[in-house]
Amino acid sequence: MANPVELIGRQVGRYGVVRHLASGGMAELYIARQESVGGFEKPVVLKILQPRYAQNPRVVSMFLDEARLAAKLNHPAIVHVYDVAEDEGLKYIAMEYIHGETIADIVTRGLGADKYLPLEHAIHIVRQAAAGLAYAHERRDPDGRVTRIVHRDVSPTNILVSYEGQTKIVDFGIARAQDELREEAGILPGKASYMSPEQVRGTGIDHRADIFALGIILYELTLCQRLFRGPAEAVMKRIVNDRIRPPTAIKRDYPPALELIVMRALEKRPQDRYQSADQMRGDLEEFLDDSGLRTGTRRMALYMNDLFAPDAGPDAAPAKPEPDDLDFDRRAPPSMRLEAAAEGRATPPRGVAIRIAPPAGPPRSTRPSGSAAIVTPLTPSTSAKSGTSNQPDATAPSPPVENLLLRRSRGTWYAIAAFIAVGIATMVILTLR
């Protein structure tokens, strides 16, 4: 299988290979067809282990074992694994074929076609992904013990949305095998911009690392702005050391209740985050109910079919993007481990960050009334004349809370004093008359 094209038209186990789909880190992906009697046909995705890894017995064993574990997952928000087998030396996984697009593709298309993902649909995608993660994290074995299956690579390229409006998480069960291979090569597992602080430091991780990654996705989709962008090394340092800027400090009319959910998912310390993905899902659904935003599978399907209709617009990002604007798949650099910053620098006390006042100035532009989409540019756009950004960097340090509160307090007293002075002047004038 030196050339992926060589398998097209061949039979692999019960599946006839139709076309090559993509090349992954350790496997080749193909669209295949399962055929049976009576004209039965079913499209599947075959994930075939690359030859250089297929010769490593430990990797093969891990690849197949993890895939068999994933095959036991049965949830609407997780791509189902049908088969795990070997045929003529080819080790493969047969998975559910999803007619849909990744979150990364949806963002790119939406920006290019000026139909960016509405707020309610962004929350719908994340709440369905949270439901899938909760199911995997809390799944029990036959003896009743929680297995705590951790994805380890939750990112916009590993979450699909079908044209029927259903969110699907892909690559459950093989992330651990990929991690082992990368760590053998001195490379941290996961995508740099969607790693948790504990992943960056190379310490042990659990299901709460998936929650942090999902929090990043929620932050980015609802603000239409990358949270951690730039060179991988710089990104990883910011993940560990920098305070995350609250959404209301970037967009003044961002819903405060939604900000609470985002900031809790993005707590630096795992024990301060949501302790289960189901808690996060429940809060998102409660926010949708309280805010009156209308979404759901049917509405999501209508948006998807409209966005990706043949005449919907260009399939491209906005003009002159920054080099890493849409690089959702940037990998961590080799041989890099980071330690946490000194106590007092890394993370503000819980609850403080969400009280930071937004910067002075007029609100950012939004869509016309009737649409809940937030259309702040995905990345700061640079003025051709001045070279300055027209949008604050999501990772820039925020002003001290005390200074902001002091300025707000002074402003309040000035207003009260002015009001009293006007009242006294009015009374004097009326008395003189």
Tokens standing for 311?
A: 């005449």
Contact 331, 178 (CB under 8 A): no
Whole-angstrom distance, CA of residue 329 vs CA of residue 323? 13
Contact 241, 91 (CB under 8 A): no
CB atoms within 10 A of CB 321: 17
Is 179 marked active-site?
no
3-state SS, one letter per residue, for the chain: CCCHHHHCCCEECCEEEEEEEEECCCEEEEEEEEECHHHCEEEEEEEEECHHHHCCHHHHHHHHHHHHHHHCCCCCCECCEEEEEEECCEEEEEEECCCEEEHHHHHHHHHHCCCCCCHHHHHHHHHHHHHHHHHHHCCECCCCCECCCCCCCCCCCCEEEECCCCEEECCCCCHHHHHHHHHHCCECCCEHHHCCHHHHHCCCCCHHHHHHHHHHHHHHHHHCCCCCCCCHHHHHHHHHHCCCCCHHHCCCCCCHHHHHHHHHHCCCCHHHCCCCHHHHHHHHHHHHHHHCCCCCHHHHHHHHHHHCCCCCCCCCCCCCCCCCCCCCCCECCECCCCCCCCCCCCCCCCCCHHHCCCCCCCCCCCCCCCCCCCCCCCCCCECCCCCCECCCCCCCCCCCHHHHHHHHHHHHHHHHHHHHHHHHHHHHHHHHC
Residue 45 phi, psi dihedral angles, 5° rounding: -110, 125
Whole-angstrom distance, CA of residue 159 vs CA of residue 148? 20
Whole-angstrom distance, CA of residue 433 vs CA of residue 240? 69
Tokens standing for 408?
A: 């707000």
- 83, 141, 143, 153: which is the annotated catalytic residue? 153
Catalytically active residues are 153
